[in-house]
């Protein structure tokens, strides 16, 4: 297991490949990603690397976190994320990571917080078809219909699909392909949709269901 990256979602675009296929592109920004701390088997019982991203002013950092950054001899960061790694892939504190951490054509898993949509009805939240447009149906065309049974069991079961809060939850999209990267601009270009809104933090790591070796893809000019 290798360490991942902390990135920011900048926006989306699209491109036509040489065979005429249109692919969706998402641009991710690697904002001063640096190793802040290590977790070892002897001390913590597991091996992991703590990454920091986005430079933060010192007066916005708590006293306890100031000591953490001072001990690591790195500048304060606004966002921290822990990645589990194998012992042979452990990185030293202070190492900076850029967009070339991933190969072109490699598959990755991307995690982020989905866009919040507030309180949503059953049709939008669970893709219900709704009630009929006529034949006696009045006012309640977008309702979810019956939710319970008869006197036995006489209740609504837990996890019944109903209207409620939609979005603003942790989402992981698997097996997205790295199309290109630009180390000077700290950009990583991914083929596919990434959870979250523009400016939101997105966490990337090697795909758990795909191999890293032997992947080739068409490059895209930034």
The yes-or-no verdict on residue 217 having pLDDT over 50 is no
Query: For the chain, what percent of residues have pLDDT higher than 70?
Result: 95
Name the more confident of 126 and 212: 126
CA 10 to chain centre: 13
Mean pLDDT calculated for residue range 161-180: 94
Average pLDDT, the chain: 90
The string of pLDDT tens digits covering residues 38-81 is: 898 989 899 999 999 999 898 998 998 998 899 888 999 999 99
List, in sequence order, every beta strand (DSSP E) within the chain.
5-16, 22-29, 33-39, 48-55, 77-84, 96-97, 107-113, 118-120, 164-166, 170-182, 187-191, 201-206
8 Å CB contact between 156 and 148: yes
Which residue intervals of the chain bear CATH 2.40.30.10? Answer: 5-116+169-206
**What pTM value is reported for the model?**
0.82
Sign of CA dihedral 130, 132, 134, 135: negative
Fold of 5-116+169-206: Elongation Factor Tu (Ef-tu); domain 3 (2.40.30)
* pLDDT at position 220: 53
């Amino acid at each position: 297991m290798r360490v991942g990256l902390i990135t920011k979602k900048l926006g989306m675009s699209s491109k036509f490949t040489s065979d005429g296929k249109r692919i969706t592109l998402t641009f991710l920004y690697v904002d001063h990603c640096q190793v802040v701390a290590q977790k070892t088997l002897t001390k913590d019982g597991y091996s992991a690397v703590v990454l920091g991203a986005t430079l933060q002013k010192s007066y916005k950092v708590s006293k306890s976190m100031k000591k953490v950054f001072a001990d690591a001899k790195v500048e304060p960061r606004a966002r921290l994320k822990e990645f589990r790694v194998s012992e042979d892939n452990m990185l030293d504190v202070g190492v900076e990571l850029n967009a070339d951490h991933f190969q072109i054509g490699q598959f990755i898993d991307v995690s982020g917080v989905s866009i919040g949509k507030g309180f949503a009805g059953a049709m939008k939240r669970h893709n219900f078809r709704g009630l009929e447009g006529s034949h006696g149906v009045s006012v309640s065309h977008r309702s979810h219909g019956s939710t319970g049974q008869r006197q036995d069991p006489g209740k609504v079961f837990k996890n019944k699909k109903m209207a409620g809060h939609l979005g603003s939850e942790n989402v992981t999209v698997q097996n997205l392909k790295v199309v290109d990267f630009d180390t000077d601009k700290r950009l990583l270009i991914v083929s596919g949709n990434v959870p979250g809104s523009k400016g939101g933090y997105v966490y990337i790591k090697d795909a758990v269901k795909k191999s890293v070796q032997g992947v080739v893809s068409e490059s895209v000019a930034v």
